[in-house]
Amino acid sequence: MVLLAAQKFSKKLEDHNNHTHHDHHHHHQSHHFSSSLQDFRSIASNSISQLPQSEILSLSWIHKFFGLLPSINRAFAKLLVDIDYPMSSWDSESVQLFLRYSVNLLDLFNSISSCLSHLSQARMSLSHGLSLLENSPSSAMKHLKSIPPGCFNLSFDEDTKAEDREAKDCSGKQMVVHEAVNELKRIVFWVCGIFLSGLCSEWKPYLEMRKITGGFDDSSVFTLDSRINELMLLEKMPVLKEIEEINGSVANLLAASDAEKLDASMGLQKELHVLEKLMDDVSEEVDELFGSVMTQRNELIDCFRITTTQTQKSTA
């Protein structure tokens, strides 16, 4: 009886120790995951805080913002290393979440590229008009027109909006990935929405991005987003600063006297050169980001396909 009681006590103590060790390990792991996620958010927030709060609606500001995205993407990659959860190990829900995010992002980049192409054509038309101004004023007038707004016709289905807004019932590494991808989405979709609104001279793209992400109140861009809300409350139409300035210069040129036309045309030409350089820089960044997202998607799909095949073979 004494031996039996001792054995029972020993087993109970062992179970207790194992349970205590498991709880301690789980607590330590949860703390590590939370800390890693917070580090990622801090890097994103610190990167964005470097941006000026003025002139958000400008190509030069967009250029600065896009320049920060590679460092934010590197922070996301570091997060995956910190929690030991490479894409090759992702569960199906994490894979689907990232694939939805990335395909929508590719659509946004395509829409931006289309608007930039439209802007480029308008810029070249103005430059051609200026070249004709001295020898053929009547022909020049056909080209010296304000830059018209681009067109936004992109929309996401309701399933995408609903599914991506709310976190699924997940925990551990899956929860960290879900939260991090949603933060990436809020950051990148926010700037894409503002950029497209400035190119199209309407708030619809920005409002669409706000609807998809569920708002930016708990995101790294919250402070900057308050500036956008101020503009909307003032009922100010969103127009990129460079486009607004060029359209103003076109109006001044058309209203100028013969004696003033030379100076006015030279001023407009300088503005068009600045616009061309900024457009080239931003277009290059958009193309690079597009390529980077495509590479990530392909790698993730390949990893998921290999993992699925191996699982099927092991259960066959």
Write down the pLDDT at residue 171. Answer: 72
Write down the pLDDT at residue 152. Answer: 87
CB 221 within 8 A of CB 186: yes
Chunked into runs of 10 residues, the chain (316 residues) has average pLDDT values of 42 49 59 93 92 91 93 94 92 92 95 96 96 90 94 70 52 91 95 96 94 88 91 89 96 92 94 97 96 93 73 57
Write down the pLDDT at residue 164. Answer: 47
Q: How many CA atoms lie within 13 A of 221 on its CB side?
A: 26
Going by the DSSP 8-state scheme, the letter that residue 134 receives in this structure is: T
CB 124 within 8 A of CB 144: no
Place of tokens 């927030």: 45
CB 119 within 8 A of CB 279: yes
Write down the pLDDT at residue 25. Answer: 52
- Angstrom distance (rounded) from CA 46 to CA 54: 17
DSSP state letters, 2-53:
HHHHHHHHHHHHHHHHHHHHHHHHHHHHHHHHHHHHHHHHHHHHHHHHTS-S
Write down the pLDDT at residue 236. Answer: 83
pTM: 0.85
